[in-house]
Structure 1
Amino acid sequence: DIELNDYSKGSESYTKTRALAKEKIQTLLSKYGAVSAQYALIDNGKIEISGNGGVYSKQDNKNLTKDNMYNIASISKVFTTTAVMKLVEQGKVNLDTPVVKYIPEFKMADDRYKEITPRMLLNHSSGLMGSSFKNALLLGDNDSYNHDNFLEELKKQRLKAKPGAFSVYCNDGFTLAEILVERVSGMSFTNFLDKYINNPLNLQNTKTPENRFDSSKLAKAYVPYWEDAVPQDNLNTIGAGGLYSSAENLCTFAQTFMKKSNGILSPASVKAMESKEYLNGLWPEGEDSILGYGLGWDCVNTYPFNQYNLKALTKGG
């Protein structure tokens, strides 16, 4: 059931990696109930391994391709951070200027909101409550109710901590960052991503619920106790988790943060994103953690790579 499109069939260095990829896919399919899975590996600017396993849907046994798309959920936050950093490079946003300068209608039932900066949105230290997902996760519906009413929702909320006090995972920070991008650029968030990231990198399989695209390219998704595939799932808090993409597209985008960069961001912006932001506030001493926030990244000090003086950046979704 596995199709492997290997772009370096003669390379001995990837033999074990290819075998491991097949093994992991089989485990996902047989042990965890996945209908399909997709993977890719990029090395030195070239996609060396690309493949998938399973079937397009339970009703249709046709093979998946490298162009099939999946909802990448919170990996979207790295795209959002990249968008904000583009505005920083353009001199339109300062990471340490209060958000209210850019979004004057941003208000909360807690005066400390005036201290929140774009940096705090991106490193999870804003103090915002967490996830305001009212009418956000919809099936077959890209209604923008959540986005359009988000600032009104915040007016009724207090903060759970002083801005900058400590970092704890917060989806709402990235929804606010999405609106920040729109207010400063004068463009919709989707159009901004297309202009500055997706189109320059030719990411033809990276979309948001607001894009018009062939939804049949999305691999089918299922829920327990329901035989048919669910309609297209739209997380309409796009900046926090609404993007669709493919493994190969994510590899191409990831090259933004590698030594052989694709030029989407300046080296200074890439370095800023991988800084140890979690140390700016209260943080426990002790064992290595899967969390160690940068700007957008879940961890910028990833174990065990840090034991060998290697920088590994991670983001889950």
Structure 2
Amino acid sequence: MKRVCAAVAAIVALIPGTATADQLPDPSSIDSYVADFAETAGYPGVAVVITKDTGVVHLHGYGTATATTPMPIASVSKAFTALAVVQLAESGRLGLDVPVATYLPEFRLADPRGGAITVRHLLNQTSGITDGTLPEKSLPQPDDLAGAVQRARQATLASDPGAEYHYTNTNFHLAARLVEVVSGQAFGDYLRQHVFEPAGMRSTTAITRTPRDLPATVHRGHVYAYGLTPAASEPDRFVAGSDGVITTAEDMARWLAVQRTGGGLVSAAGLALMHTAARENYAMGWQTDDQGRVSHTGIWFTYTAGALMLPDGYGIAVMVDSGVSLGNEGTTQLTEGIAAILHGQQPPAPSSARLLVDLVLAALTLLTVGIGIRTALRARRWAARATRWRVVRGLVPRLIPVVALVALADLAGGLFGGRDATWLQTAYFSPALVIWLALWSATELAVIAARAAALVRLTRGRAPLAGTPVSVGGPGR
């Protein structure tokens, strides 16, 4: 009997896309952890795939998601663009250390240093372009990659090309346009013919702009507010080359396999190049760490995703139909917990600050509205004691929440590393924060109006406010 079992195990090990039993983690422990995490974090649907070398050891969907549910993988898409560029480099059709303008003559920046930007600089995020020097989300969105190159003419550089790492989607918009021009194919067509189909990723596609180009098979993602997860359409954004791949957990298993061997799409040297960091642990569409792990996260405002490859051959991809939000910065905690289980360790208990953050904001909302109403009702009492300085001190500071609400996108960008976002996108990021600031602003404006009206009523035909100069002298003085 033992010989029969050994023979069966040996046969299974030779079947592509499978893994031997001694490599398999306990599926129930993974299922329990992911389900608990989804409930804690407020994720309606999660899809997970785990591979070992080129074989699949776990593939499952939770909640509203299945292993074949198509979802955006956001910035995990950058690795696909990098692979396409490396393919063209290996075929001799472009050089990684050649200036971008050699292939895109129309590529010119508002900074003369832009002429020194090479193809490698784009993939390593070291071009010097940042969200601060080209706010790609808040500027008008282009319709195609050629338009993205034209838009980049407004960019200046935060540093010399190659000198510093600055993460921005613009670098990968430009890289995708390089693929189009050098290959003579539309970017999506190139990926389908040279990446998706050869890798066996039959359910994967790439889009240019959200929500305009989302396939009908992709259901709406979700935002989060006060423990609820309402469905929402992704805001209007240009995503070609940077975060526009739509795929399934089943297809991501094939992508993880490509990252182990090249899958016939790139050479071993090309694969190693894409996994080798240049500055601040960023490689080409991938991030690395000192433990030999390769990963990337992806965030939309209605979806999040992540991929993690471990040096012992395990690969993990997770896809979630809920977007980045205040108290939820993506899928890193989930992939790290799964990695711990794969290594026989106890993962940290699932935790998320999402609900706590929103409950605090809800409490602040009730408090500020309550105080505002009480203050407005006492406007006559305040006006009766008003001096000129008291008027200024009692009215002007009440515009602070209004200013904060109007400038919310800029304030949020400053708090999160200078990343660019529109006001609407910030509202997706934290509806509870926007509701608090909006209601606070409304009550403060009501207080200003009530106090101003009370002052007008009290000062008609009466002496001027204390502290106001009184005119002396008779007529003609």
Same-fold call, TM > 0.5?
yes
Partner of 2:281, secondary structure, is: coil
> Counterpart amino acid of 2:28?
A
Q: Quote the residue 1:3 is aligned against.
A: none
Partner of 1:76, secondary structure, is: helix
* Equivalent position to 1:172, from 163, 170, 173: 170
Asked if the contact 2:55/2:257 (under 8 Å) is kept, the reply is: no
* Equivalent position to 2:281, from 292, 295, 300: 292
1:11 aligns with 2:21: yes
Q: Quote the residue 1:30 is aligned against.
A: 39
> How far 1:234 sits from its partner (Å)?
6.9
> How far 1:44 sits from its partner (Å)?
3.2
Which structure 2 residues correspond to residues 293-312 of structure 1 after superposition, within 5 A?
293-299=282-288, 302-303=289-290, 306=291, 311-312=292-293
Alignment CA distance shift 1:214-1:237 (3 Å): closer
More helix by share: 2
Partner of 1:52, secondary structure, is: strand
RMSD between superposed Cα atoms in Å: 2.7
> How far 1:154 sits from its partner (Å)?
1.7
Alignment gaps of 5+ in structure 1? 1-6, 56-63, 137-143, 279-290
Give the share of equivalent positions with the same residue, in percent: 25
More deviation, 111-120/232-241:
232-241
> How far 1:15 sits from its partner (Å)?
3.7
* Equivalent position to 2:136, from 117, 129, 132: 132
Alignment CA distance shift 1:85-1:21 (3 Å): same
> Counterpart amino acid of 1:196?
H
Partner of 2:182, secondary structure, is: helix
Alignment CA distance shift 1:24-1:213 (3 Å): farther
Q: In structure 1, what is the Cα distance between the partners aligned to 2:282 and 2:24?
A: 31
Q: Quote the residue 2:107 is aligned against.
A: 106
> How far 1:262 sits from its partner (Å)?
1.5
* Equivalent position to 1:245, from 244, 247, 252: 247
Asked if the contact 1:67/1:217 (under 8 Å) is kept, the reply is: no
1:256 aligns with 2:265: no
Which structure 2 residues correspond to residues 6-85 of structure 1 after superposition, within 5 A?
11=21, 13-16=23-26, 18-55=27-64, 64-85=65-86
> How far 1:227 sits from its partner (Å)?
7.3
> How far 1:209 sits from its partner (Å)?
2.4
1:315 aligns with 2:313: no
1:221 aligns with 2:202: no
Alignment CA distance shift 1:135-1:205 (3 Å): farther
Asked if the contact 2:127/2:171 (under 8 Å) is kept, the reply is: yes
Alignment CA distance shift 1:9-1:270 (3 Å): closer
Q: In structure 2, what is the Cα distance between the partners aligned to 1:153 and 1:9?
A: 48
Alignment CA distance shift 1:214-1:96 (3 Å): closer
Asked if the contact 1:135/1:146 (under 8 Å) is kept, the reply is: no
Alignment CA distance shift 1:9-1:277 (3 Å): closer
Alignment gaps of 5+ in structure 2? 1-16, 299-477
Q: Quote the residue 1:203 is aligned against.
A: 201
The CA deviation string for residues 107-130 of structure 1, in whole angstroms up to 9 with x for no partner, is 111110000001000001000123
> How far 1:23 sits from its partner (Å)?
2.9
> How far 1:83 sits from its partner (Å)?
0.4
Q: Quote the residue 1:287 is aligned against.
A: none
Q: In structure 1, what is the Cα distance between the partners aligned to 2:117 and 2:88?
A: 18
Q: Quote the residue 1:191 is aligned against.
A: 189
> How far 1:178 sits from its partner (Å)?
0.7
> Counterpart amino acid of 2:124?
N
Asked if the contact 1:8/1:49 (under 8 Å) is kept, the reply is: no
Asked if the contact 1:25/1:52 (under 8 Å) is kept, the reply is: no
Q: In structure 2, what is the Cα distance between the partners aligned to 1:227 and 1:40?
A: 24
The CA deviation string for residues 122-160 of structure 1, in whole angstroms up to 9 with x for no partner, is 001000123513455xxxxxxx52634322322222111
Q: In structure 2, what is the Cα distance between the partners aligned to 1:97 and 1:21?
A: 46
Q: Quote the residue 2:441 is aligned against.
A: none
Q: In structure 2, what is the Cα distance between the partners aligned to 1:24 and 1:148?
A: 44
Q: In structure 2, what is the Cα distance between the partners aligned to 1:93 and 1:30?
A: 47
Asked if the contact 2:129/2:166 (under 8 Å) is kept, the reply is: no
More deviation, 111-120/21-30:
21-30
Q: Quote the residue 1:4 is aligned against.
A: none
Q: In structure 2, what is the Cα distance between the partners aligned to 1:46 and 1:157?
A: 44
Partner of 2:295, secondary structure, is: coil
Alignment CA distance shift 1:92-1:35 (3 Å): same
Alignment CA distance shift 1:155-1:232 (3 Å): closer
More deviation, 107-116/216-225:
216-225
Asked if the contact 1:47/1:248 (under 8 Å) is kept, the reply is: no
Q: Which one has the largest radius of gyration?
A: 2
More deviation, 154-163/231-240:
231-240
Asked if the contact 1:215/1:232 (under 8 Å) is kept, the reply is: no
Q: In structure 1, what is the Cα distance between the partners aligned to 2:41 and 2:88?
A: 41
Asked if the contact 1:147/1:236 (under 8 Å) is kept, the reply is: no
Q: Quote the residue 2:148 is aligned against.
A: 150
Q: In structure 1, what is the Cα distance between the partners aligned to 2:82 and 2:19?
A: 36
Asked if the contact 2:42/2:224 (under 8 Å) is kept, the reply is: no
Q: Quote the residue 2:451 is aligned against.
A: none
Partner of 1:277, secondary structure, is: coil
Asked if the contact 1:222/1:229 (under 8 Å) is kept, the reply is: yes
Alignment CA distance shift 1:261-1:176 (3 Å): closer
Instruction: With the length of structure 1 as denominator, give the TM-score of the two structures.
Output: 0.78
> How far 1:184 sits from its partner (Å)?
0.8
Asked if the contact 2:19/2:56 (under 8 Å) is kept, the reply is: no
